[in-house]
Structure 1
Amino acid sequence: MSGHVHLAIDHALARVTLSNPAKFNAMSRAMWRELKAVFTELQGRTDLRCVTVAGKGGHFCAGGDIAEYPGFRFDAEHLRDFHENDVWGGLSAMLACDLPVLAQIEGNCMGAGVEIASCCDIRVAAAGSRFGAPIARLGFPMAPREAQLVAREAGLATAREMLLEAAVLEAGEMKTRGFLHAVLPDAEVAADVLARAQRIARLAPQAARLNKQTLRALGAGQPVETVVASAYDYADQAEHREGIDAFLTKRQPTF
């Protein structure tokens, strides 16, 4: 079996590591299934406040593990199962996670890597990282759900350039286009992402989860009236009371 998705917990922080370093962390079918299992577990945890996603060995993810492709890609039903169940299973589990998810992007971020990064709330990249989805060179298109995800997060124009021209874009360009939140010298990325995760962990965890639920619902096209129906149920919650009381009494809140 090629590659693994590792989960490590440090107090309120979770770290998910894509590990297939001999192939720049290309995603195998097993890794997609592990990604789903990891984020399904994270969604059920009440003791965590933030998740970071990174690749092992200086690269984020170079795409899919092409060595596996002859085993299933030439049959339509097997190909559908791969994209709709393995790949989208992992990506949809990430998208459904109510914890804030930060991407630590280094080196190659191609194809599946762009898709995984697109599921993260905040994306921080090394200046030397590169982005693209040059699968036209391999003779196949991006699956519809995955293309919709990338077009939404990276922009339709960028998705067209990556898919139709097989363009590979530098980190600075991806920040200019709004996909990245920050681009830093390569040696500073890990520390910056950790500092961001620690800052998030000190904030109100219920508020973060509710914000993600609201943004997810609105992004999925739910009418705002539907979201409003339960939007204020937190009114009497302890976290809400603690935040307001701490402000009024001029102290740091304890969440």
Structure 2
Amino acid sequence: MTSVTGRVHLALHGQVAQVILSHPGKFNAMSRAMWRELKDAFVELQGRSDVRCVIVAGEGGHFCAGGDIAEYPDFRFDEAALRGFHEDEVWGGLSAMLACDLPLLAQIEGNCMGAGVEIASCCDIRVAGSGARFGAPIAKLGFPMAPREAALVAREAGTATAREMLLEAAVFDATDMKARGFLNTVLPDGTLTPAVLARAQRICALSPQAARLNKQALRTTQGAMPATGEGAYRYADSPDHREGIAAFMSKRAAVF
């Protein structure tokens, strides 16, 4: 699965699995290939009986800075292609995480933006370094968060926080996100790896059957994500969408 556009590593350490987001030089921004690999990793993990806990983390001191915008001009301005990206690739990866019956721990350092917030929202327990930053400032790029992705973030981060992220392009620090209920624990930067591993090992010592049944029971209380309406991606060829991405690629401020 090696890819020049980043990759998702799945590593097994006894009963603990690690899913590592890796995109060097781009703060682990998610490429299209990475979304497909994320789905593959969690489909595989769901079927394994030897794994009891999964840690989701990023390489190089960052979790995930969002999507790989360098790819966007290739497909985002076509409505059908844009729908396929969000509904098949992005939601394919996120829904595989949500359907996984193993406890998922998010180990969050540095940038956790856009896609990073969505991936973290799929995890059961979220631990962050004190220097972590959270947001989804895609309004600066001229496009919205896809409906089911926005519903997921609103459910986990809270509607008020989601509104600030999406409507105001607000960025929050780890202390603020813990106060808002998104994070379970905030630790000093550089201490996360042993702390999260110790937490995973405590989970592994408990009943794996109970963990799976608890995940299934909790899933029933959350309800299904809303269906995506037909018009959700009609903005694909809009002037705002084109201007936002063109401005990012040119390293200038967008003018809407």
What TM-score does the superposition give when structure 1 sets the normalisation length? 0.86
Match of 2:96 in 1: 93
1:1-255 matched pairs, under 5 angstroms: 1-220=4-223
Structure 1: distance between partners of 2:190 and 2:12: 23
Structure 2: distance between partners of 1:59 and 1:155: 23
Paired letter, 1:55: G
Match of 2:241 in 1: none
TM-superposed CA distance for 1:21, in Å, is 2.1
Paired letter, 1:90: G
Give the greater-gyration-radius structure (CA): 1
Structure 1: unaligned runs, 5 residues or longer: 222-255
Structure 2: unaligned runs, 5 residues or longer: 225-256
Moved over 6 A (4+): none
Match of 1:249 in 2: none
TM-superposed CA distance for 1:218, in Å, is 1.6
TM-superposed CA distance for 1:67, in Å, is 0.2
Residue 123 of structure 1 aligns to a residue in which SS?
A: strand
Structure 2: distance between partners of 1:189 and 1:8: 18
Residue 190 of structure 2 aligns to a residue in which SS?
A: helix
Deviates more, 1:182-191 or 1:212-221: 212-221
Paired letter, 1:109: C
Provide Cα deviations, 1:181-225, integer angstroms capped at 9, x if missing partner: 00000011111100000000000000000000000012116xxxx
Paired letter, 2:36: R
Structure 2: distance between partners of 1:174 and 1:21: 26
What TM-score does the superposition give when structure 2 sets the normalisation length? 0.86
Match of 2:246 in 1: none
Structure 2: distance between partners of 1:131 and 1:191: 22
Structure 1: distance between partners of 2:47 and 2:186: 32
CA RMSD in angstroms, aligned pairs only: 0.6
**Structure showing greater relative contact order (alpha-carbon pairs closer than 8 Å, 6 or more residues apart):** 2
Aligned residues with identical type, % of pairs: 75
Paired letter, 1:81: G
Paired letter, 1:100: P
Provide Cα deviations, 1:79-138, integer angstroms capped at 9, x if missing partner: 000000000000000000000000000000000000000000000000000000000000
TM-superposed CA distance for 1:58, in Å, is 0.2
Structure 2: distance between partners of 1:198 and 1:99: 13
Match of 2:245 in 1: none
TM-superposed CA distance for 1:16, in Å, is 0.5
Paired letter, 2:118: E
Provide Cα deviations, 1:140-161, integer angstroms capped at 9, x if missing partner: 0000000000000000000000
Structure 1: distance between partners of 2:46 and 2:171: 33
Structure 1: distance between partners of 2:153 and 2:95: 13
Structure 1: distance between partners of 2:137 and 2:24: 20
TM-superposed CA distance for 1:36, in Å, is 0.2
Residue 203 of structure 1 aligns to a residue in which SS?
A: coil
Paired letter, 2:168: E
Residue 25 of structure 2 aligns to a residue in which SS?
A: helix
How many correspondences in the alignment? 221
Match of 1:245 in 2: none
